[in-house]
Amino acid sequence: MSATPEIAVSEVKAALAAAIGDDAVSTAPDELSAYTADTYWPALAANAAGTPIARPEIVVRPRTEEAVAAVLETAGVHGTPVVPWGGGSGTQGGALATEGGIVLDLRSLDRVIEIDETSMTVTAQAGVNGRRLEAELNERGLMLPHYPASVEWATVGGYIAARGSGVLSTRYGKIEDLLLSLRVATPATGLIETVPVPRHAVGPELTQLFVGSEGTLGVITRATLQLVPVPAERRFAAVAFPSVHAGIHAIRRTLQAGHRPSVVRMYDEDATRLAFAPVVGEDLSGVYTVLAFEGEPDAVDVEERRTLELAAEAGAELLAPAIGERWWDRRYDFYHPPHQPELPAIWGTLDVVATYSRIEAVYEALHNAVRVPYAETGLELRMHFSHWYPWGTMIYGRFVVPDGGPDALEIHDRIWADGMKAALDAGGVMNDHHGVGIKLGPYMRRQHGRALDALRGIKAALDPDNIMNPGKMGL
């Protein structure tokens, strides 16, 4: 955490107040304390120990998109870092002001600007909370089919900036598939709009450049996103596969045949026993898998029948649908105590994605690099497969060490280093939907090779003074 001289902080504060109004700017210590940790484990542990790893010097809460651009201009003049903050639910440390400076809390940009029921799109400001937006859309029979488990905290801007995914992604896609266009403020350009449709031939697609940019290129101030009707029917099913291999084979065939279940969540044996079973309240073992099908009832009939036939061909046992419904009703319980671990435990999610040709090797590699060698720490590794594509799938590998003791941070970092090396060596990509932040920055060169230099060049063009979220994403 850098310490900008006090005199400089008060100068920047005065300049910001002059630019966007005194009441949008604060240096009150108790207000700054609210931004010392997102949900990145080392930040939570450091906070609990009273030694935060990050602390902004100024918090700014802009009420207009023009004010966001004015903040960047003022920060540029003073060379002050700017770190966007959406809901603070990120797991990678992306929203932490590790170099001091300004935290830009976007939650006052909270207007739903337009719901276009003909095109089925919504235009909303970046700070709109996910749950609030969903309620507003549902009243009109619509939904934004991006249902992350963090919907109660996360914002529209955070969804996009961290390149997220929701529980219905297998049918509707990740956030980048739902996005039409953006308004963004960058230090080099001020406020810019990307072209209003995602399919065009007027040059490269700039909208997508900002998806996953985690505040390192600029600040997303509004977005237009695709909606769908609330489905006439959502039907659940549950199966138990004889093995992870059999499950991957069956779901691959399902997707490659063109079917799109909305939910496919396949828990490996450890995850079934340690995560799925306690939440649904039964004593279970096997490779339990929840499926959902949605849309018009006739289409649901066909999709369900064919998916279950392919599962049965792979040796799956068909279970009562009630277990799938219970899982849906309790799906947020996974992220709250007693199911969500708490300090002094160490936890994290090794979230990796790969093609079908490689995913099983990645799964084995994570098992061998993390579950086996760390067994002596009491580590549990619960892996599930939750976002499926026609070409591959991802592994959500939640590890928990019950109590790391005095070496907890070192153990945490070692697990990540070993897990990422194993996943990359086996042909995986190190993240499907949680982003990079601080956590995965050290592995960006390994992941991207020389392409990382292209990303750095783009950053240098849009953010020449390197004020946008410095120190993140390995940039």
Ligand X SMILES: Cc1cc2nc3c(=O)[nH]c(=O)nc-3n(C[C@H](O)[C@H](O)[C@H](O)COP(=O)(O)OP(=O)(O)OC[C@H]3O[C@@H](n4cnc5c(N)ncnc54)[C@H](O)[C@@H]3O)c2cc1C
Residue ranges binding ligand X (CB under 6 A): 38-39, 83-91, 94-95, 106, 126, 148-150, 153-155, 157-159, 161-162, 164-166, 214-215, 219-220, 335, 433-435, 437, 469
Beta carbon of residue 243, minimum distance to ligand X (angstroms, whole number): 26
Q: Which helix (H) or strand (E) holds 176?
A: helix 175-178
Residue listed under structure tokens 């099983």: 360
- List, in sequence order, every residue forming a beta bridge with 237; answer none if it has no partner: 291
- Shortest gap between Cβ of 205 and ligand X (angstroms)? 18
Nearer to ligand X, 166 or 247 (CB): 166
Alpha-carbon dihedral of residues 115, 64, 79, 60, nearest 10 degrees? -110
Q: Which is nearer to ligand X, 215 or 286 (CB)?
A: 215
**Contact assessment for residue 378 and residue 399, using Cβ atoms and an 8 Å cutoff:** no
Closest to ligand X by CB, 299 vs 332, is 332
Beta-carbon-side half-sphere exposure of residue 427 (alpha carbons within 13 Å): 11
**Shortest approach of ligand X to residue 111 CB, angstroms?**
14
Measured CA to CA in angstroms, residue 272 lies from 134, 277, 451 at distances of: 30, 6, 38
Closest CB 224 distance from ligand X, rounded Å: 14
Cβ nearer to ligand X, comparing 36 with 300: 36
Report in angstroms how near the CB of residue 128 gets to ligand X at its nearest: 10
Q: Which is nearer to ligand X, 145 or 286 (CB)?
A: 145
CB contact at 8 A, 187 and 459: no
User: Which residue, 84 or 231, has its beta carbon nearer to ligand X?
Assistant: 84
CA distance 91 to 196: 31
Closest C-alpha to 59, from 90, 14, 105: 105
Nearer to ligand X, 56 or 87 (CB): 87
Provide the β-strand partners of residue 348.
Answer: 399
Work out how close the CB of 320 gets to ligand X at its nearest, in angstroms, rounded to a whole number: 26
Q: Which is nearer to ligand X, 52 or 94 (CB)?
A: 94
DSSP state of 408: H
| Angle CA 157–108–230, to nearest 5 | 55
From CA 176, how far away is CA 164, in angstroms rounded?
A: 8
Radius of gyration in angstroms for the set of CA atoms belonging to the chain, rounded to a whole number: 22
Give dist(CA 341, CA 6) in Å, integer.
Answer: 39
Minimum CB separation of residue 305 from ligand X in Å reads: 29
Q: Copy the structure tokens of residue 52.
A: 């935060």
Residue nearest to ligand X (CB): 158
Nearest to ligand X of 219, 300 (CB atom) = 219
Give the pair of three-digit tokens for residue 194: 């990307």
Beta carbon of residue 158, minimum distance to ligand X (angstroms, whole number): 2
Min. distance of Cβ 126 from ligand X in angstroms?
4
Q: How far apart are CA 45 and CA 342, in angstroms?
A: 10
Nearer to ligand X, 11 or 333 (CB): 333
d(CA 100, CA 55): 6
Residue 281 CB, shortest distance to ligand X, in Å, is 20
- Contact between 303 and 263 under an 8 Å Cβ cutoff? The reply is no
Which of these, 263, 267, 287, lies nearest to 275 by C-alpha position? 267
What 3-state class would DSSP assign to 296? coil
